[in-house]
A and B are shown apart, each in its own frame.
Chain A
């Protein structure tokens, strides 16, 4: 347990262990082996950021380099899933999902429903999300709300290497399609990860910090920013409770509501654009189900409603910071009932 590995290695290890455990686990994607026309493992690249490096050598009959056609191989993965395999499809950037919406929204998400519960689609679609990588507007979006909106899909967005490994193993074993969102700026983030296989259930939030004064709800990179905010607030004697949602569908509202019943104040943080995002969803559910517990207005911290800027200066301003989250907490603490 004392071993620390990066989030990237946690993903690699989860796939490796599941491929070893279950012969139906396969993977397809762009450049995940050696790149189109390459010689396989000899020039293995392991995907755009090297997440799958080394897997082809261990599981040569289970990884497939695909042409640069997301609509084709996402469709192939969904078809394989419906026929008894457990495919993982790696789609470099979630921004490219647009070309496979029919496969995901109308096929994968609907099979169980349209076939009277008789069809299962155990596919995992992994994709990088998030800003801060200097990758410009078409490679930096946080599109988690779009998939969360669709019934029939499960949506995961972990913040730590421990959660990443356990949630990915659980996602592979799950019998429904899972959109597994990996924040590219967390790939190098290291943490304790057991070597053995383990799972983290879908639909259970984590509470990395307990506090009694204000609840801060976040996920992905924002969970780290929320913890920074909690540190800043602690200097003023404010005890913030930080909730890391971990999975967005299913969503663990029980943990959020329980916390708000205790603190009476809520700050929702999201790296997704501010309209119809996870923060607005959580805010609405708290307003509906725990209005009586709220002592003041709910605050939301999200980027502006604009594309992710390419200018590094503007991009850094675009992403919510720990200081902004702490300020939002102070705003809700300054008003309302005591």
Chain B
């Protein structure tokens, strides 16, 4: 009868997660679980998030206890219809073995590759199937490919996925191809050339959204569709307290309140997140590079480039997602979305909707990209 038993396991978020700490269960034993329902809170070294049910069913057993640190794919709970006896569930739990990491995943280092494009080393990773039109994720100002922690695997279930660090960001070289959207868009197109990718679905966040829109307008044949999350380029306002504060912050104490503006819930900012960003900012050349980019693209709280009109003219399918509580680029800018675009405003999300409301964002992207 074990076929009727459905395990709930520790998810793998992002490319380097190996284990997660169980914070709390959000549902009681005996609860009826629906697909997508948040069932327990798990914390990684990056961020805490809710594990959402992948299957529907009756929650019979909570196995993981709050405070436990468990490897990816460890058994967290068991769902089964009422006909399945407790003894059968006991037997299932006793026999459960955590599957080994799939091939090639043993070393976090082997997940990432480096490629030199226009003289700039780029860190990137490819996931998902070999064939199909890839989904290209483009992060924002000061971000890196880990911003897509909760989105990569969901997208990779159906399509090839490419994530990378923009020049001067993450672990790519500390060099810019130029401090304009045109230069950045051209660089990303050259990066796709180097990967031999002809056409991609672009998913862009914030500055990455403006880059994606610029790519669609400069090389429409290369972009199949565009999904934008809190994109730049839709209006003039941008929170200078964030963009300039991020560049200026020298310590944990200075950076924390800046980062809190990214999220609807300021408690999302973990010490690890602050430490990781300080480590990035303290690399030689990063601060002047960010200052140059910031001054060129959003000086004194005004965005210098408007990409939304060219995006509309490109005629590409457009999805726009915006957290209602975005304190960096106001969600009111969503009103400028091209006619015919799908627009989703998310409650309880700030500027980082793909992290804060991963389930909704993943669902919207899946529906939009299709396949």
Contact = CB atoms under 8 A, between A and B. Distances in A.
B251 A194 contact: no
B271 A210 contact: yes
Nearest to B280: A198
Interface stretch (A200-208, A268-276, A285-293): A200-208
Chain B interface size band reads 10 to 19
A201 B108 contact: no
A333 B208 CA distance: 50
A201 B250 CA distance: 9
A2 interface: yes
A327 to B, nearest CB: 24
B239 interface: no
B253 A197 contact: no
Interface in A197-248: 197-201, 204, 207, 210
A207 B108 CA distance: 25
A196 interface: yes
A197 B251 contact: no
Nearest to A199: B282
B267 to A, nearest CB: 13
B283 A2 contact: no
A197 B250 contact: no
Given A2-B108, A2-B109, A210-B271, A201 B251 contact: yes
Given A2-B108, A2-B109, A254-B253, A198 B284 contact: yes
A1 interface: yes
A166 B271 contact: no
A1 B253 CA distance: 24
Contact of A198 (B109, B253, B279): B279
* From B250, B271, B284, residue with most partner A Cβ within 10 Å: B284
Contact of A197 (B112, B252, B283): B283
Given A210-B271, A254-B253, A197 B284 contact: yes
Interface residues of A, number: 16
A44 B231 CA distance: 57
B31 to A, nearest CB: 28
B171 interface: yes
Contacts of A207: 271
Contacts of B250: 201
B39 interface: no
B251 A204 contact: yes
B174 interface: yes
A198 B252 CA distance: 16
Contacts of B284: 196-199
Contact of B282 (A3, A198, A210): A198
B17 to A, nearest CB: 14
Interface in B147-189: 171, 174
* From B107, B174, B252, residue with most partner A Cβ within 10 Å: B252
Contacts of A210: 271
B124 to A, nearest CB: 14
Contact of A166 (B171, B174, B282): B282
Interface string A134-167: 0000000000000000000000000000100010
> Dominant SS at the A interface?
loop
A200 B280 CA distance: 11
B283 A194 contact: yes
Contacts of A204: 251-252
B183 to A, nearest CB: 22
Interface string A161-176: 0100010000000000
A196 B282 CA distance: 10
A86 to B, nearest CB: 16
Contacts of B283: 194, 196-198
B119 to A, nearest CB: 16
Contacts of A199: 282, 284
Interface string B268-290: 00010000000100111000000
Contacts of B251: 201, 204
A200 B109 contact: no
B271 A1 contact: no
Given A2-B108, A166-B282, A201-B251, A196 B271 contact: no
B193 to A, nearest CB: 26
Contacts of A194: 171, 279, 283
Contacts of A2: 107-109, 112
Contact of A200 (B174, B253, B282): B282
* From A2, A201, A254, residue with most partner B Cβ within 10 Å: A2
A200 B112 CA distance: 26
A194 B171 CA distance: 9
B174 A196 contact: yes
A286 B171 CA distance: 39
Contacts of B174: 196
A261 B32 CA distance: 43
B173 to A, nearest CB: 9
Contacts of A196: 174, 283-284
A217 B70 CA distance: 29
B252 to A, nearest CB: 8
Interface string B85-112: 0000000000000000000000111001
A195 to B, nearest CB: 9
Nearest to B110: A2
A201 B278 CA distance: 11
Interface of A: 1-3, 162, 166, 194, 196-201, 204, 207, 210, 254
* Nearest 4 A/B pairs, CB to CB: A2-B109, A197-B284, A198-B283, A198-B282
16 contacts: A2-B107, A2-B112, A3-B109, A162-B279, A166-B282, A194-B279, A196-B174, A196-B283, A197-B283, A199-B282, A199-B284, A200-B282, A201-B282, A204-B251, A207-B271, A254-B253
Given A194-B283, A198-B282, A254-B253, 6 more contacts: A1-B171, A162-B279, A198-B284, A201-B251, A201-B282, A210-B271
